[in-house]
Amino acid sequence: MIYLFQRFVYQIPRGTRDFTIIEMQNRRYVEEKIRSTFESYGYKEVQTPTFENLELFTAKSGEGIIDEIYSFKDKGGRDLALRPELTAPVIRFYVEKLQMEPKPLKLYYFGNCYRYDRPQKGRYREFTQAGCEIIGTDTPESTAELISMAYNILKNLGLKKIRLKVGNLIILKEIFKKIKLTEEKQKYIIPLIDKNLYEELMNAMSEFRINQKDISEFIDILENSDIEKLRNYLKDNKNVLDEIEKFEKIKNLLENSYKISDLSVKMSIVRGLDYYTGTVFEIEAPCLGAESQLCGGGVYELIELFDGRPSGQAGFALGFDRTIIAMGEEKIVFPKKTIDLYIIPIDEKTILKAVEIAENLRKNGLNVDMDLLRRNIGKALKYASSINAKKVIIIGPDEIEKNVVSIKDMKTGKQETVKIDDLINFLK
Ligand code: AMP
C-alpha cells in the first residue's frame, strides 16, 4: 500500500507536462517570434502574479467558475486562485497602477494558466497563453489592428492552414431581440451556439416556442452571415445599424488593408467568457481536430467592473501549446540550437589552459562548452557534434608550447592552427 502511494507521489500531476531540452528550445523560439510580432505593433510586455484573489475571477463569471479553476485558502485564510486566464489580472493591474499611462496602452504578456479541465491532446490543466490588451480606444482601426496582429503572429510562425472568423455580440444580441429570446433563454442557448451543437439548439428554440421559420432564418444567419444579409435582417432595429457599420469597417480593413483573404463572418462566435461586448474573433487550425481553437478575443468591458474609469478595451489570448502542436502538424521545421565552440583538452596537463581559453572566449560573448569527462578525441568529437558545436578547439601539450591551438570547423571539416593571442580575432 505504502509502495503504491509512493509511486503515485513521484508521478507528474494529471494535466501537466515536463518539457525536454528540444521542446524548451522550440518553445523559446516560438516565444521570441511571438514577442517580435507584438513589438512590431508597438506593444510592451507586462507580467502579473500566478495567483490572484479568487474574487477577481468570480466577479464577472459568478461562483460557478470555481468548479473549473484551482482555488484555495492560504494560511491567512484568504481565498485565492491560480489564474485561469490573464485578461482579468492585467486589467486589475491596469486599474490599480496604469490608468494614468498615455493612451492607447498596448500591453502583451506570456504566462502559465491553470484550469481544472479534462485533459486531452491540446487541453491541459497547466498551459501557457500569450496575449495582449489594448486600452483607451475602440475605433474600428484599433480592433482591426488587434485582429490582424493575432493573425500575423500565427502566419509569422509559418502556419498556413489557419482560419479567421469574426462575429459581433452587439449584433447577435439584436438578433436575439428580434426573435424574442429573453436574457434567461439566451443564457441557455449561448453555450449551445458556442459548442456548435445545432441540433440541441434547434430543439431548445422549438421548446421556447419560436416558430420554425424564425429558427431556420436564425441558424442561417449564424452560419452564413454577411454584412448585407445582417443589415437586411435587422433593418427594423435602427439602434444596431451603427454597430453594423463599424463591424463592416473592421472587416474591410482586414480584407483590403491587412490583405487577410481567408476571413469569414460568423455570428456564431460567442466566446466562452462573459465580458465581451462588441466585435469578437477566433482563429482556428482545423488540423487540430476537437481542440482546434488557437486564439480568441475581441472588444470587452472589464475596467468598469474593477472600479476603473471607463475606457475602450480589447484583447486576445493565444494558446501557446496548441500553436506549437499546430506547427508540428504542418511540419514546420524549428531551427536547431547550436553552440559556438567546444574545447577538447587532450590530456590532464592541458586542462588549465583549456579552462582559461574557454573563460576568455565566454567573456568575449561566445557560447563555449568544454570536455569535462577527460574523453579521448574521437569520443569528444562525437559529443561535440551531438550538441551541434560549430567549431572545436583542440589543445595538446605541443600546441601549448607553441602558444597555438587547433580549430576544427565541424561543418566543413577544415582544421587550422591559430595563435592563442589571435583567437578572438580569428573567431570574430
Ligand atoms: P480562452 O481564454 O478560453 O479564450 O482561451 C484562449 C486560448 O487558450 C484558446 O484558444 C486555446 O488555444 C488556449 N487554451 C484554453 N484552455 C486551454 C487548455 N486547457 N489547455 C491548453 N490550451 C488552452
- Whether residue 83 has its Cβ less than 6 Å from ligand 1: no
pLDDT of residue 5: 60
38 pLDDT exceeds 90?
A: yes
Walk across the sheet containing 389-395 and list its strands.
Answer: 368-370, 339-345, 389-395, 404-409, 415-419
What cell was used for 246?
463599424
Q: Can 2-329 and 339-427 be said to share one CATH topology?
A: no
Query: Ligand 1 mean position to 261 CA, how many Å?
Result: 25
- Whether residue 328 has its Cβ less than 6 Å from ligand 1: no
* Mean pLDDT on 154-173: 96
Which residue out of 115, 121, 129 has the highest number of ligand 1 atoms within 8 Å of its CB and is therefore the one to mutate? 129
When the candidates are 3.40.50.150, 3.30.930.10, 3.40.47.10, 1.10.1040.10, the CATH number that belongs to 2-329 is 3.30.930.10
Classify 339-427 by CATH class: alpha beta
Which residue, by CA, sits nearest to atom 4 of ligand 1?
Answer: 296
Condensed to tens digits (0 to 9), the pLDDT of residues 281-296 reads 999 999 998 889 999 9
Q: What is the pTM of this model?
A: 0.93
273 pLDDT exceeds 60?
A: no
Condensed to tens digits (0 to 9), the pLDDT of residues 46-95 reads 999 999 999 999 998 888 899 999 999 999 999 999 999 999 999 999 99
Atom in ligand 1 nearest the alpha carbon of residue 271: 4
* Mean pLDDT on 188-199: 88
Looking at per-residue pLDDT, the higher value among 111 and 217 belongs to 111
Which residue, by CA, sits nearest to atom 16 of ligand 1?
Answer: 123
Query: Ligand 1 mean position to 319 CA, how many Å?
Result: 5
Query: Ligand 1 mean position to 293 CA, how many Å?
Result: 7
Q: What is the DSSP string of 31-81?
A: HHHHHHHHHHTT-EE----SEEETHHHHHHH-GGGGGGS-EEE-TT--EEE
Which band of pLDDT confidence, cut at 50, 70 and 90, is reported for residue 307?
Answer: very high
Atom in ligand 1 nearest the alpha carbon of residue 317: 6
Condensed to tens digits (0 to 9), the pLDDT of residues 381-402 reads 999 999 999 999 999 999 999 9
Contact predicate 44/106, CB 8 Å? yes
DSSP H/E element including 289: none
Domain ranges of the chain: 2-329, 339-427
Looking at per-residue pLDDT, the higher value among 211 and 48 belongs to 48
